[in-house]
């Protein structure tokens, strides 16, 4: 606490905002954050997804995977549950295999969501 005693309100706000931005950047690499974003997008488009029986779920998954290699590597590095997965998609490069396991994991999340929604509709 003695480190902040002499700081002005403006300096405190600056460092607090800097800290929050760093936390936000780190959180973008956690699967829980990516899954949450994917599910929010699926919920926003629920009606159209159910109308076509989930035909385009893969496009929602694709749009939730960063195109940047650094981000892909950080997602993989920060989520040990991906480490034991092997790609069933046949990529030959390490980077391709990383993207494949992220994609396969998010597909599982999307299809689980879809099946729950479909079951909810049929129960009504």
Distance CA 90, CA 88 (A): 6
Q: Which whole number is the average pLDDT over 63-80?
A: 93
Q: pLDDT tens digits, residue range 9-46?
A: 776 676 666 665 665 566 789 999 999 999 999 999 99
Residues in Cβ contact with 82 at an 8 Å cutoff, skipping those fewer than 6 apart: 31, 75, 76, 98, 101, 102, 105
Residue 10: predicted pLDDT: 74
The pLDDT mean for the chain works out to: 86
Residue 28: predicted pLDDT: 82
Q: pLDDT tens digits, residue range 73-108?
A: 999 999 999 999 988 888 889 999 999 999 999 999
pLDDT at 119 over 80: yes
Residue 15: predicted pLDDT: 65
Would the pTM of this model clear 0.85, i.e. be above it?
A: no
For residues 36 and 107, the answer to whether their CB atoms sit within 8 Å is no
């Amino acid at each position: 606490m003695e480190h902040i005693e002499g700081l002005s309100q403006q300096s405190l706000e600056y460092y607090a905002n800097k800290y929050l931005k760093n936390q936000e950047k780190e959180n973008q690499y956690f699967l829980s954050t990516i899954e949450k974003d994917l599910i929010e997008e699926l919920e926003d488009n629920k009606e159209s997804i159910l109308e076509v029986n989930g035909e385009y779920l893969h496009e929602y998954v694709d749009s939730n995977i960063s195109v940047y290699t650094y981000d892909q590597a950080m997602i993989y590095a920060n989520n040990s549950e991906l480490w034991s997965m092997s790609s069933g998609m046949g990529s030959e490069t390490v980077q391709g295999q990383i993207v494949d396991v992220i994609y396969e994991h998010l597909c599982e999340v999307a299809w689980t969501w879809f099946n729950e929604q479909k079951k909810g509709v049929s129960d009504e």
